[in-house]
Amino acid sequence: MNDFIALLPTLITKIGQHLIISLSALGLGCLIAIPLGVIISRSKRLSSVVIAIASVLQTIPSLALLAMIVPIMGVGRKPAIVALCIYSLLPILRNTFLGVQSVDSSIVDAAKGMGMNPFQQIKAVQVPLAFPVIMSGVRLSTTLVLAWTTLASYIGAGGLGDLIFSGLNNFNMTLILSGTFPIIILAFIIDLILEKVEIAWTPKTERKGGESL
C-alpha cells in the first residue's frame, strides 16, 4: 500500500499522458474515418478498396508499425498518435459505412422529395439515423486504442505503458498493476460517457409506449 501511495504522483502524470495520446489518436481517427465512411457508402467498388486497405493496415503488428513510423517522424508522442490513429480507423470506418448503408431507402427518397441536396441528406438524415452504429465503432476503437497506447512507451511517448514495462523489467507486480488497472477503469469510464452521448444524440423515432412520431 505504501508503494502505491508513493507512486501516486507518477501515476497521475502517466494517466494524463495516456489520455492525451489515446484521445488524440481517436479524435484524429474519427475525423478521417467518419467522413470517409460516408463517402465510400456511395460506391460499392470504392468501399471495397478502402475497407480492404484499412483491414491490411489493421493487421500490421503494432511494434512493426511503430518501427516504420519512427524513422520518418522520430520518437515521442506524435508518431505514437499517428500509429494509434491508423489502428483506430477500421472499426469506425466500417461501422460508418454499414450505418449509412442501413438507412431505409424510403427515408432517403423522402428527403430527396423535400428538395434536399446530397449533402443535406447526409447531414440531416443519413448520419443521424446511422449514429448508433457509428458510435458502436467509435466505442470499440476507444477500447482498443486505450489498450494499445501502452506500446507508446517503447518510443518514449510516455503513458501507463511506462509503469507496466518498468514492472516487467524489474519483476515488480505493484508497477504492473498500477499501470494495468487504470487502463481498465479509463476504458470503462470513457465507454460509459460515449454510451450517454450515443443515447442523447440518437434521434427519437418513437414516443413512449411505442406511439410513432
CATH 3.40.250.10 fits 19-199, yes or no: no
Alpha carbons 185 and 53: distance in angstroms, whole number: 32
Question: What pLDDT score was predicted for residue 202?
Answer: 85
Q: What is the pTM of this model?
A: 0.89
Q: Is it the case that residue 2 has pLDDT exceeding 70?
A: no
Q: Is it the case that residue 210 has pLDDT exceeding 60?
A: no
Interval 168-179 mean pLDDT: 90
Question: What pLDDT score was predicted for residue 48?
Answer: 93
Interval 128-146 mean pLDDT: 95
Higher pLDDT, 212 or 176: 176
Question: What pLDDT score was predicted for residue 105?
Answer: 87
Alpha carbons 28 and 8: distance in angstroms, whole number: 30
Query: Which stretch of 16-30, 146-160, 195-209 has the lowest confidence by average pLDDT?
Result: 195-209
Tens of pLDDT, residues 13-59: 999 999 999 999 999 999 999 999 999 998 889 999 999 999 999 89
Q: Where are the domains of the chain?
A: 19-199
C-alpha R_g of the chain: 21
Tens of pLDDT, residues 59-99: 998 888 888 999 999 899 999 999 999 999 999 999 999 99
pLDDT averaged over every residue in the chain: 89
